[in-house]
Structure 1
């Protein structure tokens, strides 16, 4: 297992944790071109609308925007192209079964560099209802108030 300091977090999808109930996670590699790797390591990634689709027994990351690298040549990559995720066949099969159930989807939760390789943490998620989101906001506010009171005394 890698130590915590071996991992450099590039971006985290906080919106996904608010909109979805995350049931399980899976670490995947991502197939990138050279200029994309440099852009990702600079943190020039936007994945608010990104999702993962299982197609032909492969995982595909859709809707991820990687800004073109500024020092690359004219033949730069397409910022919104679908990118293949790398995982074992059995893991992909389990994800396919889970997403075929009603209400489940796959969302990217975190991008990070681990031992020089760009990784994606994919979550199996179920959408939250509006009242569940309100309860989460209420609980967060209550916790914040309690922390303030404890610091005061």
Structure 2
């Protein structure tokens, strides 16, 4: 529970940071002097929720009773459902079949890239730890 709360706070703060960062980028690079307050609030809440469930959903990988394939499937399905409900509900993605399939494709490609990077990183860390344990036994 403590880990869940800690990750929740980190995710919420990270989502809020990204919302402010993107808003500042729009103001600076598009030269806007005013913003639609309701749109800002809606997008900020969306970004905060995205940050929250992106930070909390990796907890699946800390359940030792699940295989890596089960952990990955649960993580993917959780992120997929929550992100698309949020993105369609807020209006980040227009609700057309074409935009849905393009976004799903982009989502899967990014998920695979990020998952592979984390997998390779942690595999390398495991090799280092195993090498150190081997050296300790000598």
More helix by share: 2
More strand by share: 1
Q: Fold match, TM over 0.5?
A: no
Q: Normalising by structure 1, what TM-score? A: 0.23
Higher relative contact order (CA 8 A, sep 6+): 1
Q: Normalising by structure 2, what TM-score? A: 0.25
